[in-house]
Amino acid sequence: MSVYTIALFLHVSGAIGAFVSVGIWLFGLSTLRRSQRVEQVRAIAWLIVIASPLMVFSVLLIIIAGLDMALSTWGLGTGWIAVALVSFVLIGPVGAFALDPRMRAIMAIAREEPDGLLSDTLDRRIHDPVLGTGVQTLAAALLGIVFLMTTKPSLAISIVVMVVALALGLASGLPLWYAARIRARRASARVKSHADVDPFQRKTIWTRRW
């Protein structure tokens, strides 16, 4: 058993861990958007948050083992390796700076709120389109990187593959942005309708016409 074989095993294990983590995020967010009670949000958000360290560990494992194989066999100047490394650098901050803080904020709000139906604040946080778009883009990018690792294309094809993967990931989030915009309009309309009603002109049992 050579060092390259061990590095390859660690590299593949890291890829499996990354996809497991992304799968938890995708499933969790889909379930979270269907939640109606604070208790449900607490449980699902906790599951998603504990999956974040797995993603970090898996990405580090992929990079370390991949660099070892690249330096010992392929060389960093190889086209597909260079594109894969740049892709990791670009998508790495998404989870740490865009997704994880938002999910931890959701969990913190859910812990502070009493059991029952979701508040408007928590509902807006849950339906933040950045969450779904970010995770779906990460999944698409990881699939693109796996394609590069398995097919080892030229530099030009590698760039095209990653551009297409990132574009598809971002495009998959468009329905989430549209849905968030519709929800915001409805919420604004409800607030406006309540504000337009004069509380002194409301009909009660004494002023209602019989």
pLDDT higher than threshold 60 for residue 155:
yes
Residue with the bigger pLDDT between 72 and 42: it is 42
**pLDDT confidence band for 195 (50 / 70 / 90):** low
pLDDT for res 210:
41
Query: In the chain, what are the domain boundaries?
Result: 3-201
Instruction: Quote the CA–CA distance of 70 and 74 in Å, as a whole number.
Output: 5
pLDDT higher than threshold 50 for residue 70:
yes
pLDDT for res 129:
95
pLDDT for res 147:
95
Residue with the bigger pLDDT between 203 and 3: it is 3
Q: What is the mean pLDDT of the chain?
A: 87
pLDDT higher than threshold 50 for residue 209:
no
Q: Lowest-pLDDT range, 131-140, 177-186, 201-210?
A: 201-210
Per DSSP, 96 falls in state I
pLDDT for res 90:
87
pLDDT for res 154:
93
Tens-place pLDDT, residues 115-142:
999 999 999 999 999 999 999 999 999 9
- What's the Cα-to-Cα distance from 43 to each of 35, 54, 106, 116, rounded to whole Å? 11, 18, 11, 14
Q: What global pTM score does this model have?
A: 0.84
Element (H, E) at 13: helix 3-32
Instruction: Quote the CA–CA distance of 54 and 22 in Å, as a whole number.
Output: 10
Instruction: Quote the CA–CA distance of 96 and 91 in Å, as a whole number.
Output: 10
Give me the residues paired with residue 37 across strands.
117
Q: Which residues, in sequence order, are CB contacts of 178 under 8 Å at separation 6+?
A: none
For Cα atoms 145, 84, 98, give the angle at the middle one, nearest 5 degrees: 80
pLDDT for res 207:
47
pLDDT for res 173:
95
pLDDT higher than threshold 80 for residue 76:
no
pLDDT for res 192:
63
Share of the chain above pLDDT 90, in %: 61
pLDDT for res 208:
46
